[in-house]
Amino acid sequence: MVKIFPLILIGVLFFSGCTARTSTNATPTPSAETNGVAPALGEKSNRVDITDPIINMLKENSSTSGGNLTEGANINQATINDEIGQSAIFRKDYQYEISGIIKITAVDKLSIEDFNYNGSCGMVSMILVNSVDKNAAITTVKQYPDRVTNDNFVYTLPEGVDLLQFNAVSIFCSARNKSVISTSFR
């Protein structure tokens, strides 16, 4: 038993990693790293850019526009441009016979084509809304006190309203105090 004990002790020390020498491959501290640069990906890459593509996109936009991250980088412009050309279509509603097409034609313009309403709800308002709350008007496009047939016009968005604030059109009936029909831009 006495001869086996030293062998067991040496085996435990060997397999548990308890040796007298120190490792030369120790985990580097943050200050010992290369300031966030990922060496395998080159000097232009950064660990933050790899893990957060939005930050990378903001940095690229600011460097091409000559600004910095707090000014000059307008990432919403591309999204706004994607909205142009979308349409919201009212199919003929059975009760109020509401129909027509609303098209986004420019950053600040809507084209309303062939809008119809039979007048049976009294005063209605065509309003721009966010689909989350179809009764909360972002802006009123036009009010119709009674029947209308094939109304066509161009609407200019008011100052302070942009295409990202709304995604649907709703017809709000004043007598019922609620939206009677709505449709989303597609």
CA–CA separation, 163 and 151 (whole Å): 23
What pLDDT is stored for residue 22 in this prediction?
A: 52
Query: What average pLDDT does the chain have?
Result: 76
Query: What is the arithmetic mean of pLDDT over 165-172?
Result: 94
Domain coordinates in residue numbering, the chain: 36-74, 84-184
| Greatest Cα-to-Cα distance within the chain, rounded to the nearest angstrom | 108
What pLDDT is stored for residue 174 in this prediction?
A: 94
* 46-86 residue pLDDT tens: 444 445 555 555 555 544 444 444 333 355 666 778 889 99
Q: How confident is the model at residue 183 (pLDDT cuts 50, 70, 90)?
A: very high
CA-based nearest residue to 182, from 147, 135, 141:
135
DSSP of 7-55, one letter per residue?
Answer: HHHHHHHHHHT--SSPPSSPPPPGGGS-TTB-GGG-TT-BHHHHH-HHH
Around Cβ 104, how many Cβ atoms within 10 Å? 20
126 or 29, greater pLDDT: 126
Q: How confident is the model at residue 32 (pLDDT cuts 50, 70, 90)?
A: very low
Answering whether pTM is above 0.75, one says no
Which strands make up the sheet holding 148-156, listed edge to edge?
A: 87-90, 99-106, 109-117, 148-156
What pLDDT is stored for residue 72 in this prediction?
A: 36
